[in-house]
A and B are shown apart, each in its own frame.
Chain A
Amino acid sequence: MIKEGRFGFMEAFSIMAIVLVTKIFYGSPMAIIKYLGTAAWYGTLISCVGALIFFTLLYLLMKRFPQQDLFQIFETVTGKLIGKSLILIFAVFLLYKAGINITEFTAVLKVYSMPFTPPSMIILPFLIVVAAMAYVGLEGIVRTAHIFFYLVFGSLILILLLAIPSYDFNYLQPVLGYGLAKTIETGIIRTAAYDEIVFLAIIIRSLQGLQVFRKVGYLTLILGGLTFSVCLICILAAFQYTVGGEHLSGMYQLSRVIYFTRFFQRIESIFLFVWVISSVITVAFIFYISLNAYSRVFNISNHRPLILPFTFLTFMFAFIPNNFAQIMEIHLRVLREFSSVIFIFIPVMVLLLALIRGKKEVKTSGKA
């Protein structure tokens, strides 16, 4: 078993908040504004409510097996073979997710900041840092996330505040967007945008009990939902839904419109730090969990020898999309809409199976 270390509430909260919120910096706002128009800001709240319901189910599952993490529960409930197969699916999909996240990041960086730098020159140093973080392990990733948590959220708030002169809240009308039914439908489908919360169940043994798990889960989902909603309101208010749906990175564009006198303008590059830092932490976390899952499947006690091949595989995954259209139309739809098949459907099915088969952890004494 890999030694993952232990950490407290704030560290777990920081990593989950960063992982959930990072996608706001990239194509996610564009996609949701395209689908829902002016209703995007509460469409994401519907997704958040869906994620909260899913998390409650996940909590019920974890409560039945308080001494085990999600992967162990898979094996306990479905048996070794199916359990390990499910974990392997998680491992592969997470690696794919890490690769596509890097591609998305690279595409945005190339468009806005480094147009002449080849993608491989952007991806390679990124992956080196990710590999270093994976080498150090979960505790190191989480502590790094906690240190940068304040920087990431502080900068986010700063961007929203500094762009106030550009807001016109009349742009939020018509409030119902393309219709309430479409908003609810898309909102539910896009619950997958918050499905990273499932990672908390994978690292639960590093947390200080089930209560911390519950607290972190609910709070990060609420924080993530509110952050998404507020950011979408600001993007819509600044650019209107027609233009807002065209920007590759709504938040980056928002930071571009900041203008306070001739001296204090075009400061978007400062926020590049936040973009990069939150992306590295997110990818490193996903990459580490993928490594962890793979190690569990084949009973590998030390994940470090796997880092190099997995880095190579992530590099390969990052080069699957040919262009940005492919990233947006295929891969990000897979990640933000259909990933629920893996991250939500499988745990819920396992919960149902546990309920049907009456599987429950025998020894329930201990931390819960």
Chain B
Amino acid sequence: MKEKQKQNQNQNQSLFKSIISLITYKKTKIPPSFTLTESYEESGQEQDNSEQSGSDQGEKEKDEQNSSSKSRRRATKKPLSPSALKSSRVDSDAVKKDIDSNKKILEQQFHLPINKDLIIREFSIGNKQRGFIAYIDGMADKGIINDFILRPLFDEIDDESSSDQQLNSLEDIILTNDTKNLRKVTTTVTEILKGNTALYVDGLDYFITCETIGYNTRGVEAPKTEGIVKGPQEGFSENLRTNISLIRRIVRNKDLITEFHEIGEKSNTTCAVVYLNGVVNPAVVQEVQRRLKNIKTDFLVSSGMLEQLIEDNPYSIVPTILSTERPDRTASHLVEGRVAIIVDGSPFAMIVPVSMHALMHSPEDAALKWQYATSIRFIRFVAVLAASMLPALYIALTTFHREMIPTDLLIAIAKAKENVPFPTLVEILLMELGFELIREAGLRVPGIVGNTLGIIGALILGEAAVSANIVSPILIIIVAITGLSNFAIPNYNLAFGVRLTRFYFIAAGALLGFYGISLALVAYVLMLVNLKSFGVPFISIISPRTKGSRDIIIKWPIWMQEYRPDYLNSPDRRRQPKISRQWAEQDSSDT
């Protein structure tokens, strides 16, 4: 009985505590925020370095660096973090000195014989020393393995003069363009997973990995979502190396740096951080590195997933990272002083930091004359306003502020609405829902049928809805303009955000008319001014006010764009001299 009473008392106490905790104030844990300061002093670098040394990613990199320089120096020992300790598995991770143990470790790692993907091919060198190569079938190029690893190896074995020296010169025998000496099993496994081939000869305490990556990938094709009329027609593919080469082909600069990070405990996805040294603010690069190194996840397959893991404001409806599938656009952002993050297997580059106006630029703007580009940009801004607010304004106008509508138009609207039994809000919601359905269905239906379905569906649905007196014809015009405006937004993620924002404004307009929309607008702008993209205020240039780069809303002539955007705080602010068209200053006879 006493125990029961005690239990009841405890239960009551815990209930009381939980109720009290609901009404008492708890100080919210504010995560440390990163702000890009005016000076690009490398504050906090030591901290970053210390964090880096603790992570297992850092260990991997050290191992690779160690081996690629062919020096046998061990990395300086530093205390490992618990996660690093766990993953390194100190004893089992080191490469053993006998072939059987190493082979067994690899077999265990890849779950042989159940797993049929790993091929282990054994051989012996001059009947003295045994060795093996290991690679994943389908990921490695067998031609390279046969011609540039096995053939030179056996040729050397046939050569009687060869002796123990072979052990020290294996790398000279193998003819692949890149080799690494890896002393850890985990890094060796990662290399094999990438498509490289691991070579082991009995007696060595390291694996030699040879670059044999050779799987089928999609070729370079035109971009799917960022097509333009004037300008390059190349888009990124799923191959990371191809993507980086596409950028390098445009920015042929020795200062263009590519760093690799492995993300995903299970997928081991390679992510590249690309930036132009000397142009980018080092603090931004450090911040990107810090975020990437501190991601603990099991699986990463696309840039969209990584975007969600590294963005500043996960709850924001507006994207703060620019995704592009165009190498030329990526290159132009790199030269402006931004950082590109590319995920292996994803045909998109993520650009950081960006501001609102960068999302409103189209890749075609750069190729167009400034007058054309500026006018198109204005249309895009109008499109954003129409896509987010037009239905809400229509509801507010017809429900709360009818006096604003000119009499003739008001009569026309009233006539059209005469037979419609629903209120305007229901009409709008029905049509918006129908439009979203058509759009989603159009994406799922394969090939050309999808496009046809979109057009036919919209036409038939609209016509049928009007004939059935479910919606008024004016509303069809409103929804069509809204839909078209949404398609005019150049950024896919931003267009999504605007689609959702539309419903927010519809609710505000339906509740309180223009008054509600005004309040909703203030709240929305409040959200925007508080957004940051890698330490840079999202609507910088407007607020906080910074010097413009003459390529914000109005695109000035290219020869007047002398500076990089101020908010990026680039160490090299000037992009061209004051007079870039120096030929204009010369006398035409002076040649």
Distance A150 CA – B28 CA, assembled complex (angstroms): 35
Distance A10 CA – B543 CA, assembled complex (angstroms): 9
Q: Is B518 an interface residue (CB 8 A)?
A: yes
Distance A117 CA – B399 CA, assembled complex (angstroms): 13
Known A-B contacts A133-B526, A144-B525, A262-B406; A276 and B518 likewise in contact (beta carbons under 8 Å): yes
B404 proximity list for chain A (CB < 8 A): 266-270
Distance A174 CA – B517 CA, assembled complex (angstroms): 43
What residue in chain A is nearest B24 (Cβ atoms)? A305
Known A-B contacts A114-B400, A277-B518; A125 and B512 likewise in contact (beta carbons under 8 Å): yes
Q: Please encode chain A, from 98 to 129, with 1 for each CB lying within 8 Å of some chain B CB and 0 for all others.
A: 00000000000100011001000110011011
Query: How many B residues face the partner with a CB closer than 8 A?
Result: 32
A140 proximity list for chain B (CB < 8 A): 526, 529-530
- Choice from B27, B513, B529, B537 contacting A144 with Cβ under 8 Å: B529
Q: Is B25 an interface residue (CB 8 A)?
A: yes
What residue in chain B is nearest A9 (Cβ atoms)? B545
* A269 and B521 form a contact (CB under 8 A): no
* A280 and B522 form a contact (CB under 8 A): yes
Q: Is A154 an interface residue (CB 8 A)?
A: no
What residue in chain A is nearest B545 (Cβ atoms)? A10
Distance A12 CA – B223 CA, assembled complex (angstroms): 45
Q: Is A147 an interface residue (CB 8 A)?
A: yes
Interface size class of A (residues with CB under 8 A): 35 or more
Distance A266 CA – B542 CA, assembled complex (angstroms): 32
- Choice from B516, B522, B545 contacting A11 with Cβ under 8 Å: B545
Distance A245 CA – B167 CA, assembled complex (angstroms): 103
Q: Is B515 an interface residue (CB 8 A)?
A: yes
- Choice from B400, B403, B542 contacting A147 with Cβ under 8 Å: B542
Q: Please encode chain B, from 84 to 101, with 1 for each CB lying within 8 Å of some chain A CB and 0 for all others.
A: 000000000000000000
Q: Is B544 an interface residue (CB 8 A)?
A: yes
Known A-B contacts A140-B530, A265-B406; A125 and B516 likewise in contact (beta carbons under 8 Å): yes
* B401 and A269 form a contact (CB under 8 A): yes
A302 proximity list for chain B (CB < 8 A): 27
Known A-B contacts A125-B512, A263-B406, A269-B403; A132 and B523 likewise in contact (beta carbons under 8 Å): yes
* B522 and A113 form a contact (CB under 8 A): no
* B521 and A146 form a contact (CB under 8 A): no
* B515 and A113 form a contact (CB under 8 A): yes
- Choice from A8, A143, A276 contacting B515 with Cβ under 8 Å: A276
B411-448 residues at the A interface, CB under 8 angstroms: none
Q: Is A30 an interface residue (CB 8 A)?
A: no
Q: Is B492 an interface residue (CB 8 A)?
A: no
What residue in chain B is nearest A145 (Cβ atoms)? B543
A269 proximity list for chain B (CB < 8 A): 401, 403-404, 514
Q: Is B407 an interface residue (CB 8 A)?
A: yes
Q: Is B519 an interface residue (CB 8 A)?
A: yes
Q: Quote the shortest CB–CB distance from A16 to chain B (angstroms).
A: 15
- Choice from A10, A133, A273 contacting B514 with Cβ under 8 Å: A273
Q: Quote the shortest CB–CB distance from B241 to chain A (angstroms).
A: 43
Distance A105 CA – B368 CA, assembled complex (angstroms): 48
Q: Is B273 an interface residue (CB 8 A)?
A: no
B28 proximity list for chain A (CB < 8 A): 304
Task: Sample 5 A-B pairs with CB under 8 A, ordered by A number.
Answer: A8-B545, A113-B401, A125-B511, A126-B519, A132-B526
Residues of chain A whose beta carbon lies under 8 Å from any beta carbon of chain B? 7-8, 10-11, 109, 113-114, 117, 121-122, 125-126, 128-129, 132-133, 136, 140, 143-144, 146-148, 262-263, 265-270, 272-273, 275-277, 280-281, 302, 304-305
